[in-house]
Structure 1
Amino acid sequence: MDGHIRSLIDMTEAAHDERMIKGALKIFAHACGFERFAYLHTEGLDLRTFNSYPEDWQGVYLKSRYSRIDPVVTEGKRRMELFSWTADNWADRGSSELRSFRDQAVDHGIRSGVTIPVEGSFGSTMMLTFASSALTADVSKLQDSHMAFRAVLAIHYRLKIIAATTIISPKRVLSSREAMCLMWATKGKSAPETAMLTGIKSRTVQHYLDKAREKLEAATVPHLVAIAKDHGLL
């Protein structure tokens, strides 16, 4: 599991836009047996989120301001530690709004999962959730809370850097894994060495580098690295 989290952190560091971070999270979620992911950043009344939940559920959640009553968000802010949850354990009694929230979440395939909350600066909170439609999610692959917290912080700070960057360049055409392999190449790592570090097969690493060369019109890997640096991709 450490290898999956390390790859998530590496792909996040190599990401040049939000789409690439979403791609990395999707790969990680599926590797851990989850169907969906959600990143949430709250600061006061401000809320920012991106996720892979069904679009109609995203619209309902934001329009209804469900973050106010979402038991996962409430529990995350209270505990500030990795925890698992299931919608079936949310109280049957209580407000009709909470019951409606639970029923709609389950209807949209969000029934159980694991959430990693991290306290940020100035009262802000970052949360990363992986969700499943199963009655109880298998969280056995997410036991290293220290590494999980590192991943949330990596995503948070990478998003801040991306938000502050307005330069438009060819970097946005690279996939998450192409960018990750390129980053290792800039550090002087060969395809076999990158394979050892990432857990990807050597020929697959070479495939990603070849695709990156094709997209950036580079003749060789050193040429690819030089173009990447010239375009501010690194």
Structure 2
Amino acid sequence: MLESYIEQLQRVETLGELNDQVVALRDTLDVEHVVYHSVNSTGEQYAALTYSPEWVQRYLDEDYTRIDPVVQACYRRFHPIDWKRLDWTNKNVRNFHGEAIDSGIGNQGFSVPIRGPSGQFALFTVSGNASDDKWASYTQEHVRDLLLVSHFVNQKALELERGTDQVQTVSLSPRETDALTMLAMSYNRAQAADSLSISEHTLRVYIESARFKLTAMNTTHAVARALSQGLLII
């Protein structure tokens, strides 16, 4: 199903159509809400989301970016963030969290920070209502899809904004491909090294080499870029 969605996404020609595709993604991913928000190097913003207009306006009026733990964490980190692992103990943050839940955002969330060219920053989020165990199972099962689709959405947004954003094809060695494939399949480094019959040190060399070729900020970013460019087959 995700493959069909990505094919449709690649045919998008306007930001309005991209917004429609982000809304449609809610059903594809089986979540309550999907949000894509981008800020380019000049400060211009674009958002496509499924939150209610009332909550969006409330968020803007109160300038909740100042205290939103999700936004603050994503500005500082590169790895995907599960909302449950953030600090919600501050009184103002608790009040904000209560308002968000009352507005139907959901008690669970998973956000992917994206750093693009020329200082672009974007955030891709899914949220919903579920127990901690069910949400942990969902994110563990779908993390590769979430990383992949977040970067495809961001790539399309950049393409529409700049006219084109074609990236020169990267060529990874077979061992670099194997190393990233193991990580994309949720193997940890010890498991990946064991599966490839190499040392963890050698695995690290392959990963760092691939990351350099992909101009990725970190390993997670490298996996996402390799997946979005069709360099890995999972």
TM-score range, shorter chain: 0.5 to 0.7
Whole-angstrom CA distance in 2 between matches of 1:91 and 1:139? 20
Q: What letter corresponds to residue 36 of structure 1 in structure 2?
A: H
Whole-angstrom CA distance in 1 between matches of 2:44 and 2:13? 24
Indicate whether 1:99 and 2:66 are aligned: no
Indicate conservation of the 8 Å contact 1:113/1:139, yes or no: no
Q: What does 1:78-227 align with in structure 2 at a 5 Å threshold?
A: 78-86=76-84, 90-94=87-91, 96=92, 98-110=93-105, 111-136=107-132, 137=135, 138-144=138-144, 148-163=146-161
**Alignment correspondent of 1:54:** 52
Whole-angstrom CA distance in 2 between matches of 1:68 and 1:47? 17
Indicate whether 1:66 and 2:64 are aligned: yes
Q: Residue by residue, what CA displacement relative to the aligned partner does 1:87-140 show, whole Å, maximum 9, x if unpaired?
A: 9x642334x3x2332111111122212111111223331111011133543324
- What SS does structure 2 have at the residue aligned with 1:80? coil
Instruction: Name the CA shift for 1:47/1:20 in 2 (closer, same or farther; >3 Å).
Output: closer
Indicate conservation of the 8 Å contact 1:114/1:129, yes or no: yes
Q: Which has the higher contact order (CA 8 A, sep 6+)?
A: 1
Whole-angstrom CA distance in 1 between matches of 2:126 and 2:155? 20
Whole-angstrom CA distance in 2 between matches of 1:164 and 1:121? 11
Q: What letter corresponds to residue 64 of structure 1 in structure 2?
A: E
Whole-angstrom CA distance in 1 between matches of 2:143 and 2:162? 33
Q: What letter corresponds to residue 27 of structure 1 in structure 2?
A: A
Q: What letter corresponds to residue 130 of structure 1 in structure 2?
A: V
- What SS does structure 1 have at the residue aligned with 2:142? coil
Whole-angstrom CA distance in 1 between matches of 2:54 and 2:25? 24
Indicate conservation of the 8 Å contact 2:34/2:49, yes or no: yes
Indicate whether 1:15 and 2:4 are aligned: no
Q: What letter corresponds to residue 95 of structure 2 in structure 1?
A: S
Q: What letter corresponds to residue 92 of structure 1 in structure 2?
A: T
Whole-angstrom CA distance in 2 between matches of 1:154 and 1:93? 35
Instruction: Name the CA shift for 1:75/1:8 in 2 (closer, same or farther; >3 Å).
Output: farther
RMSD of the alignment, in Å?
A: 2.7
Aligned residues: 157
**Alignment correspondent of 1:208:** none
Whole-angstrom CA distance in 2 between matches of 1:120 and 1:71? 22
**Alignment correspondent of 2:75:** 77
Indicate conservation of the 8 Å contact 1:8/1:151, yes or no: no
- What SS does structure 1 have at the residue aligned with 2:122? strand
Indicate conservation of the 8 Å contact 1:81/1:118, yes or no: no
Instruction: Name the CA shift for 1:150/1:133 in 2 (closer, same or farther; >3 Å).
Output: closer
Whole-angstrom CA distance in 1 between matches of 2:50 and 2:129? 13
Structure ID, larger Rg: 1
TM-score w.r.t. structure 1 length?
0.57
Whole-angstrom CA distance in 2 between matches of 1:158 and 1:121? 13
